[in-house]
Amino acid sequence: MNRPSPAARVMPLHDLHPAPDDLSAEVLSGLRAEPRTLPCKYFYDAEGSKLFDRICELEEYYPTRTEIGILSDQATAIADSVGGEALVIELGSGSSTKTHRLLEALTKPAGYVPVDISRAHLTEAAARIARSFPGLPVWPVCADFNQELDLPALESSGARRLIFFPGSTIGNFDRPARAALLRRSANLCGAKGGRMLIGIDLIKDVDRLERAYDDRDGVTAAFNRNLLRRINRELGADFVPERFAHEATFDPVEARIEMHLVSEVDQSVAIGDQRFRFERGERICTEHSYKFTIGGFVEGAAEAGWALEHAFTDAEELFALLLLQTT
């Protein structure tokens, strides 16, 4: 007799309402600051998340395929170290594409908690995972992971926790914010402790780095300018995105890609009842993306309560997946 297959189990969205409440205040204060900045987390509305998925497919954007390659090659070693029945909490889960490989490899994962700021994209990705892994409880959480995360899954599951943080999203944080996020992630593992599988992009030649953030098809430029479109849509602003050039340069001293929008003309922009003047050549910093050495990253993680268990890289040492343990 055929048994009925277990149903997909997506729990109701746990919504901590990260936006748009914060968008207005953060955009206005960022544009009043010197130098001007816009927080990179606001790249990810529905349109921005789709553009990011297109970036991941680009020939120039080596991080995604390289990290997937490492994950596929090392799946058994990772699963053996993590052990059975872990609750997987993913920070900045996006399309959860890499998660498929991880969940396939792990022994009887206890559940999956994708956390992302991009609500619609998160809901769709959670439903896809639930369909692919019938019987696996999936608890989507829409939140800014910079805030304290109260995760319903943590109350209903006593399972050991594995924080999955791929995509080198950790590279978007400067040192103090990075330490704070790693510390909060360690706290998510609870008193019993847990593990983290984190992707970091490694320092490499400048040309390769800059091409990854400035592709010839202009997809990253569109992703960068979408931030202005989002501000127009959600805050009633009148940016003309085409009047801002996309720029991505590597700063070797800070070891980071710096992404800017550069005003191509003298212009004035209204956001609600506020006006901002931009001179030709004036820049808005939209993202920092730090690059690491494994040793340097591990040293910082140690200060935030994590110790290295395994470091996995690709043959060219472009990218690393680190398995860390709480100390």
Ligand X SMILES: C[S@@+](CC[C@H](N)C(=O)[O-])C[C@H]1O[C@@H](n2cnc3c(N)ncnc32)[C@H](O)[C@@H]1O
- Site residues, ligand X (CB under 6 A): 41, 44, 49, 52, 56, 64, 92-94, 98, 116-118, 144-146, 166-167, 169
How far is Cα of residue 286 from the mean position of the Cα atoms in its chain?
15
CA atoms within 13 A on the CB side of 225: 17
User: Is residue 26 a contact partner of residue 32, using CB atoms and an 8 Å limit?
Assistant: no
CB of 87 to ligand X, least distance (A): 18
Cβ proximity to ligand X: between 29 and 327 the closer is 29
Residue 94 beta carbon to ligand X: minimum distance, rounded to whole angstroms: 3
Q: Which residues pair with 247 in a beta bridge?
A: 260
Minimum distance from residue 100 beta carbon to ligand X (Å): 12
- What dihedral do alpha carbons 92, 95, 101, 107 form, nearest 10°? 60
Per the DSSP assignment, residues forming a β-bridge with 189 are none
> What's the closest the beta carbon of residue 18 comes to ligand X, in angstroms?
7
Question: Judged by CB, which is closer to ligand X: 169, or 226?
Answer: 169
Cβ-based nearer residue to ligand X, 133 or 145: 145
CA 278 remoteness from chain centre: 30
CB-wise, 198 or 269, nearer to ligand X?
A: 198
Cis peptide leading into 134, omega within 30 of 0? no
Q: How far is the CB of 92 from ligand X (least distance, A)?
A: 2
Please say which residue, 93 or 157, places its beta carbon nearer to ligand X.
93
User: Cβ 199 to ligand X, closest distance in Å?
Assistant: 7
Nearest CA among 284, 186, 215 for reference residue 63: 215
SS3 245: strand
Tell me the helix, strand and coil percentages in the chain, rounded to 5.
40, 25, 35
Measured from the CB atom, the residue of 116 and 247 that comes closer to ligand X is: 116
State the Cα torsion 129-132-134-138 to the nearest 10°: 0
